[in-house]
Amino acid sequence: MSETSHHPRFDLASERVGTIYAKALYGAADAAGSLDVVVEELASLVHDVLDKHPLLANAVVSPRITHDERLQILDKAFAGRMSPTLLTFLKVLSGHNRLYCLREIQRAFHLLVGEKRGRVDVKVTSAQPLSEQSFASVSARLRETLGKDVEVLTSVNPALIGGLIVRIGDTVIDGSVAHQLENIRHQTLSAAAQQAKDALERFTTSET
Amino acid sequence: MKFNADEIASIIQQEIQQYESQIDVREVGTVLEVGDGIARVYGLSGIMAGEMVEFPGGVNGLAFNLEENSVGVIILGDFLSIKEGDEVKALGKLLSVPVGEAVLGRVVDPLGNPLDGMGPIQTPHSRPVEYLAPGVSERKPVTEPMQTGIKAIDAMTPIGRGQRELIIGDRKTGKTAIALDAILNQKETGVKCFYVAIGQKDSSVAAVVEILRQHGAMDYTTVIVAGASAPAPLQYVAPYSGTAMAEYFMFNGEHALIVYDDLSKQAVAYRELSLLMRRPPGREAYPGDVFYCHSRLLERSSKLSDALGAGSLTSLPIIETLEGEVSAYIPTNVISITDGQIYLQPDLFFAGQRPAMNAGISVSRVGGNAQIKAMKKVAGGLRLDLASFRELEAFAQLGTELDPATQARLDRGYRMVELLKQGQYQPMNVIDQVFSIYAGTRGHLDEIPRVDVLRWEREYLDFIHAKHSDLWDKLSEAKDLTSEIGDGMESAIASFQSTFVPTKQEEF
């Protein structure tokens, strides 16, 4: 039975809730002076605990478990191992029945902290895994152009054939060979069609 | 015609040699959900309202709703090929359509793609579909007539070049017929015509195209089709793209006529889009800006000032009412936007009065300025006379004894009603109209039996063309009813009357 199985769905409403709670968490953690710890712990909670133990994730989200029971689970699992700010935050989420947005909150929190610290996430896709040297030069170049600290996430897609695709937020800088080949294909096709049409017209106009 | 393979290969080679490697920078988003002609897209954070976007496979869309963290996009084309997770690219430009002489004689869809199988439209020009209407200082009053060739309209509710005259009525009352007659009558006047069919059966559109072709009107007409099976976004943009094509001629100092058949269907398509986009519904579930949707469209019809070339765009929007209900939301909106309306009634239609125009409530706010002087003189009080005749007729049906003066007015009225009847696709020259209306309003038909009025008119006009063509030419040149021409008409009528044989009325 996988009634609440996690499925990486994109939900606009949770996304919005995530932004709001992320702001609140940022304020609380900043005031408590434990921002770095909270960033690290939240990321680890989502990636190392919830992602690896879906049963726990389901238990945390399930509406069959009451708020009081959840408080006990949270205390048992995390008290003493987690900064008090984050634990309190989780309890607040549980009270508001918003624990299901934890992933969105983590994502928004990550972006928010990055923004405050002048750091951006950049996704770099290449046809083959980047060598350490080229990774370093790409990162340095991105840092220089954007004037910000960059966190480079790499991925590999052999369909690119060669070159790089860099994605910063919603902007995509496409320097892949596959894309250029596609462009050449379009241009040659339209040019050839145009020429053929012109030739045909020359033919018909000379007729009349 | 054979294509030379070497030639094509050399073209491709040239292209490859000239190809400069460019790094493509684009703004993208991801499709979250898609359906019913709209898509919700996450990302595209820098997009502007009304900007074009491209889906994979070359389908275009328009950014319609900008929300906090998503963008509502209307899809102009096949939305079935778009999937969740597809990358959407912002194109940074506005939707535009091909315009120019090349679109005349063609049947196109609202994006300017040909539907008539006559090859691609080759024109260097294009215009944005959404364009701001000319302002106050760029316009000039409407004074030139735009003859529809329909006696009842040219005499009573004249339309000027640059005017917007609404054609309103129930289904099957001859709305499209009036618009088509107006298009047919633009032959040899240099007015370019555009017929925008929105949400109609493709069979009716095919019939319209066939009629236009048979009467030789396709040479100067473009038909823009967003049929009943077209997705709502296409039906919504069709009038705007038709207007963009027509505006090209207006801004080049020429004259254009555009028929929107019909705007109630466009309003319905817009309502569908707005509801799918979760915009709040208002009266009759139409969104709050449905008025603006029509006003910004019709405002683009105008008569330009001399400085801008004095071109004009006349529009004939059509609205279908339900059970004669003109106080519904869309009819009242469009009535208040336009410069007058031609109101068609089913009871008149079935009583055989075609065009079934109700003279009492049809108006043209431009009025006599848009008539030639001669027509103004002969048809001056016709509309009010006919309206009062209708009242009198209702009274006379009570069967009371009538005094001779009233009876005379009734007789005149019956004959004028008869005279204003006109067959479909038979637009009349305005000079002919003046000749026949002159005879009617001056009482020369009062003695003619009612059944013979149309025959009398036909034979009279033949007589004028055969025997008095000099008089006709004189009127056509002066365009005014001088006393000399008036005397000429009187004598022509007198000589024709003596030859006219009324039909024998059989007694039942």
Two tokens, residue B281: 């519904």
CA distance linking residue B355 with residue B104, whole number of Å: 28
Chain A: closest CA distance from residue B424 (Å): 38
Asked whether residue B170 is marked as a ligand-binding residue, the answer is yes
CA distance linking residue B103 with residue B110, whole number of Å: 12
Distance of CA B492 to the CA centre of its chain: 37
Query: Cβ-count burial of B123 within 10 angstroms (0-12 exposed, 13-18 middle, 19+ buried)?
Result: middle
- pLDDT for position A170: 87
Asked whether residue B175 is marked as a ligand-binding residue, the answer is yes
Distances from the Cα of B68 to the Cαs of A19, A158, B30, B42, B266, in angstroms?
11, 35, 15, 10, 28
For chain B, say whether A187 makes contact (Cβ under 8 Å).
Answer: yes
Two tokens, residue A162: 């060669």
Asked if A6 and A57 count as a contact pair (C-beta separation under 8 A), the reply is yes
3-state secondary structure B133-167: CCCHHHECCCCCECCCCCHHHHHHCCCECCCECEE
Asked whether residue B479 is marked as a ligand-binding residue, the answer is no
| Domain coordinates in residue numbering, chain A | 12-115, 118-180
Taking only the tens place, the pLDDT of each residue in A95-126 is: 888 888 888 899 899 889 988 888 888 999 99
CA distance linking residue A169 with residue B47, whole number of Å: 13
Average pLDDT of the residues in B323-339? 95
**Interchain CB contacts (distance < 8 Å): A and B:** 74
Among B242, B199, B183, B195, residue whose Cα is nearest residue B223 = B195
| Cβ-based contacts of A183 with chain B (< 8 Å) | 19, 22, 24
Two tokens, residue B71: 């963008």
Two tokens, residue B296: 């910004």
- pLDDT for position A65: 82
Tell me whether residues A170 and B28 touch, CB distance under 8 A.
yes
Runs of H (alpha helix) within chain A: 12-32, 35-44, 54-61, 67-78, 84-95, 102-116, 132-146, 177-207
Other residues' Cβ atoms within 10 Å of the Cβ of residue B482: 14
The question of whether B365 is a catalytic residue gets the answer yes
Confidence of residue B236 (pLDDT cuts 50, 70, 90): very high
Tracing tokens 């559109």 back to the chain, one arrives at: B205
Taking only the tens place, the pLDDT of each residue in A132-166 is: 999 999 999 999 988 888 888 899 999 989 888 99
Other residues' Cβ atoms within 10 Å of the Cβ of residue B236: 29
Query: Cβ-count burial of B215 within 10 angstroms (0-12 exposed, 13-18 middle, 19+ buried)?
Result: middle
| Cβ-based contacts of B88 with chain A (< 8 Å) | none
User: Using CB atoms, which residue from B12, B25, B68 is nearest to A171?
Assistant: B25
- Range of weakest confidence among A80-84, B270-274, B298-302: A80-84
Chain A: closest CA distance from residue B309 (Å): 33
pLDDT > 90? residue B178: yes
Two tokens, residue B118: 């006559």
CA distance linking residue B117 with residue B173, whole number of Å: 32
CATH tag, B98-370: 3.40.50.300
CA-atom Rg of chain B in angstroms: 27
pLDDT > 80? residue B506: no
Tell me whether residues B21 and A196 touch, CB distance under 8 A.
no
For strands B96-98 and B87-94, give the pairing: unpaired
- Collect all residues from B whose CB is shorter than 8 A from any CB in A: 1, 3, 7-8, 11-12, 14-16, 19, 21-30, 32, 40, 42-46, 68-70, 122
Asked if B341 and B166 count as a contact pair (C-beta separation under 8 A), the reply is yes
Domain B378-499: top CATH class: mainly alpha
Query: To which H or E segment does residue B267 belong?
Result: helix B263-276
CA distance linking residue A64 with residue A62, whole number of Å: 5
Chain A: closest CA distance from residue B8 (Å): 6
- pLDDT for position B137: 95
| Cβ-based contacts of A200 with chain B (< 8 Å) | 1
Asked whether residue B462 is marked as a ligand-binding residue, the answer is no
Tracing tokens 């950049």 back to the chain, one arrives at: A122
Tell me whether residues B69 and A175 touch, CB distance under 8 A.
no
Q: How many CA atoms lie within 13 A of B179 on its CB side?
A: 32
Asked whether residue B174 is marked as a ligand-binding residue, the answer is yes
| Cβ-based contacts of B39 with chain A (< 8 Å) | none
Considering Cα of B174, then B179, then B182, then B186, what sign does the dihedral take? negative
- pLDDT for position B120: 84
pLDDT > 80? residue A205: no
Distance in angstroms between the alpha carbons of the first and the last residue of chain A: 77
Asked whether residue B50 is marked as a ligand-binding residue, the answer is no
User: Using CB atoms, which residue from B3, B40, B45 is nearest to A170?
Assistant: B45
Query: Cβ-count burial of B187 within 10 angstroms (0-12 exposed, 13-18 middle, 19+ buried)?
Result: middle
Check residue B50 and give left, alpha or beta (phi > 0: left; psi -120 to 50: alpha).
Answer: left
| Cβ-based contacts of B69 with chain A (< 8 Å) | 12, 15-16, 19
Domain B28-94: top CATH class: mainly beta
| Domain coordinates in residue numbering, chain B | 28-94, 98-370, 378-499
Taking only the tens place, the pLDDT of each residue in B372-386 is: 999 999 998 898 889
- pLDDT for position B10: 76
Among B318, B317, B326, B332, residue whose Cα is nearest residue B286 = B332
B interface mutation test: which of A101, A171, A181, A205 has the most B CBs within 10 A? A171
Chain B: closest CA distance from residue A208 (Å): 15
Check residue A169 and give left, alpha or beta (phi > 0: left; psi -120 to 50: alpha).
Answer: left
pLDDT > 90? residue B399: no
Q: Which of B296, B365, B390, B455 is catalytic?
A: B365
| Cβ-based contacts of A122 with chain B (< 8 Å) | none
CA distance linking residue B310 with residue B319, whole number of Å: 29
Distances from the Cα of A14 to the Cαs of A29, A86, A193, B359, B461, in angstroms?
22, 19, 49, 61, 78
- pLDDT for position A194: 79
ipTM of the complex: 0.74
Fold of A12-115: Peroxidase; domain 1 (1.10.520)
